[in-house]
Chains A and B, each alone.
Chain A
Amino acid sequence: MTTVVSLINMKGGVGKTTLATQLAHAADKRNLRTLAIDLDPQANLSQALMGAKDYVKHLNEKRPTIVNIFEQYLPPTITAPSPSKASIEDVIITKAGYWSDTTLDLMPSRLELAQTLKNPTGKERRLAKALSKVAPEYDIVLIDCAPTESILTEAAYHCSRYALVPVKPEFLATIGLPLLAKSMEEFVTENSDHELSICGVVFNHSSSYSDGPETEASVREVKAEAKKNKWHVYDTRVRYSRSYAKAAREAVPITSTSYVRGNVPAQFSAFAKEFFESIGL
Chain B
Amino acid sequence: MAMKKEMLSYDVALLLLRYGQSPVVGELAQQLGMSEERLLGDMDRMRHLPRKVSATKRRAKGFSVEKFVGEHPEMAEMLMILDARYENRTFLPELRDVKRFLDKHGHPSRTVKSRQVARRRVFEVLVRLEPRRVVDLAKEQFSGADSSLGMISDQILRR
Q: A53-B151, A252-B99 are in contact. Are A98 and B110 (CB under 8 A)?
A: no
Q: Which residues in B have their C-beta under 8 angstroms from that of A47?
A: 148, 152
Q: How far is the CA of A256 from the CA of B143 in the complex (A)?
A: 24
Nearest-neighbor residue (CB-CB) of A255 within chain B: B110
- Known pairs A52-B151, A98-B100, A258-B95; A252 contacts B106 (CB<8 A): no
Q: Smallest distance from the beta carbon of A228 to chain B beta carbons, Å?
A: 42
Chain B contact surface mostly: helix
Range for the number of chain B residues in contact with chain A: 20 to 34
Per-residue CB proximity of A9-26 to B under 8 Å, as 1/0?
000000000000000000
| B133 at the binding interface (Cβ < 8 Å) | no
A250 to B109, CA, bound (A): 12
Give 1 or 0 for each of A84-124: 1 = CB within 8 Å of chain B CB: 00000000000000111100000000010000000000000
Interface membership of A249, Cβ < 8 A: yes
Cβ contact of B148, chosen from A52, A59, A100, A256, cutoff 8 A:
A52
Is A234 interfacial (CB-CB < 8 Å)?
A: no
Task: Say yes or no: B104 contacts A98, CB within 8 Å.
Answer: yes
Chain A residues with Cβ below 8 Å from B110 are: 255-256
Contact of B151 with A252 in the complex, beta carbons under 8 Å: no
Question: Which positions 143-158 of chain A face chain B at CB distance < 8 Å?
Answer: none
B positions within 8 Å CB-CB of A:
95-97, 99-100, 103-106, 108-110, 113, 143, 148-149, 151-152, 154-156
**CB contact under 8 A between A253 and B155, given known A52-B148, A258-B95, A258-B113:** no
Contact A250 B99 (CB under 8 A): yes
Q: How far is the CA of A249 from the CA of B94 in the complex (A)?
A: 12
Residue from A111, A253, A255, A256 in contact with B156 in the complex, judged by beta carbons closer than 8 Å: A111
Q: Which residue of A lies closest to B155 (CB)?
A: A56
Query: Are A256 and B99 also in contact (CB < 8 A) when A111-B156, A249-B148 are?
Result: yes
With known contacts A56-B155, A98-B100, A99-B104, A252–B148 Cβ distance under 8 A: no
The distance from the CB of A252 to the nearest CB of chain B, in whole angstroms, is: 5
Q: How far is the CB of B107 from chain A (nearest CB, A)?
A: 8
Q: Are A251 and B100 in contact (CB under 8 A)?
A: yes
